[in-house]
Structure formats: C-alpha cells, structure tokens
Amino acid sequence: MENQVFVMDHPLIQHKLTFLRDKNTGSKEFRELVGEIAMLMCYEATRDLPLQEVHIETPMGEATTKVIAGRKLAFVPILRAGLGMVEGVLEMVPAAKVGHIGLYRDHKTLQPVEYYNKLPQDITERDVIVLDPMLATGGSAIDAISIVKRSNPKSIKFMCIIAAPEGVKALSEAHPDVQIYCAAVDDHLNEIGYIVPGLGDAGDRIFGTL
C-alpha cells in the first residue's frame, strides 16, 4: 500500500491548534486542547472502520442498521507526550486497549532511546493507532512503529498533531504502509530538531516541566 498523509483541516481542529501553539497557553489548557484535538482527529482516523448490518427493534418496529464489524482497536501512545492524547481517543473508542512505548529523544544525538514497552497481549487481532503529538525528525515514530510491527498487529496508523516535512518524509520512507494523520505539516525543523513554528516541547507543556 502507498503511504498516505491526511492533513485534517477541519475548522474545529484548526481553531484549537491555534491556541495550542500560542506560547501564552498554560499547561491546564494545553492538556485539554491536546485531548480535544486527539478526540476530533480520532473521529476522522477511524472513518474507514468496516460496518456490518444488524437487525434490531425500535419502539416503532423492526430496522436493519449498522454497527462496527468486530474490528478491535489499540492505541499506543509514545511516552511521555503521547499520553496527552489517550483520554481524547478513548472518549471516541472506549473499548480500545492501550499499549505504551517509552521513548525519549537524546537531546544531543536526536536519536530515540527506548525505556518501556508494554503492548496488549491480543495485539495480533487489533488495528493499532500510534499516538504522539509531534513528528519532528521522525526517529521516535519510526522506532515505535518498528517495535509495534514486531508484535504483528492487523494494521498500524500514526496520528500526530504537528508534523515537520522532514519527519513525514522519513516516516513515509521507513514505513510506507503506515498512514499518517496530522492536523498540520509545518515549515521546517530548526538546528536542534524542534518544529518551526510548532508549539515548543509538547511533553513539557503537557506536564508542566518547562
């Protein structure tokens, strides 16, 4: 399958993204916005879930209607910042399981370092959406997806809020089968691997560790 990038330009997402980027937005509001944007993005990212027909009775009579066709989802946030997206996506898909992959970027080398990995046992039966608000060099997403792929899930998507063109290119080349969902593709990475204009350090802004 060809790699595809979906930029979600829905007005509600773009509106919230403006406040997320603003340096005057404090941690409480930042966390809420990350959750809300993740919820809205999840709505779009699950648009292709297959449906099946069921027969039910309404108070007025019989009806043939649709339910999601037995597909199971798992969300896999990349720690730490990906955690900020979990509550929002679970609002949309409460039955999903949540795995965790712990990675941080070494600030000198910009290379991701793995420190935690716990995925649902039945992951082979699940479609996985990997979550991280930021796709910068792409190193963290590439490694996290490689780790998830070793467990053989049914499919993998990657959902971030802001992507850099460099990260989109690197991730597309490393994992051409993984669709990328984001709210914006920004201008460029600066010399220390931060997205410009971006929003700064997502993990620090979510958890107030600036």
Distance CA 132, CA 23 (A): 20
135: contact with ligand PRP by CB under 6 A: yes
Active-site choice (109, 122, 177, 187): 109
- Closest to ligand URA by CB, 112 vs 153, is 112
The distance of closest approach from Cβ of residue 202 to ligand URA in the complex, given in angstroms and rounded to an integer, is 4
Among ligand URA, ligand PRP, none, residue 35 binds (CB under 5-8 Å by kind): none
134: contact with ligand PRP by CB under 6 A: yes
- Closest to ligand URA by CB, 180 vs 195, is 195
101: contact with ligand PRP by CB under 6 A: no
- Closest to ligand URA by CB, 41 vs 199, is 199
User: What DSSP line would sit under the chain, residue for residue?
Assistant: ----EEE---HHHHHHHHHHH-TT--HHHHHHHHHHHHHHHHHHHTTT--EEEEEEEETTEEEEEEEE-S-EEEEEEEETGGGGGHHHHHHH-TT-EE-EEEEEE-TTT--EEEEEEE--TTGGGEEEEEE-SEESSSHHHHHHHHHHHHT--SEEEEE-SEE-HHHHHHHHHH-TTSEEEESEE-SEE-TTS-EESS-S-HHHHHHT--
112: contact with ligand PRP by CB under 6 A: yes
91: contact with ligand URA by CB under 6 A: no
Active site residue 126: no
Residues in the chain: 210
Q: Which of residues 136-195 bind ligand URA (CB under 6 A)?
A: 136, 193-195
198: contact with ligand URA by CB under 6 A: yes
Active site residue 143: no
Catalytic residues: 105, 109, 201, 204
What are the residues binding ligand URA (CB under 6 A)?
A: 81, 134, 136, 193-195, 198, 201-203
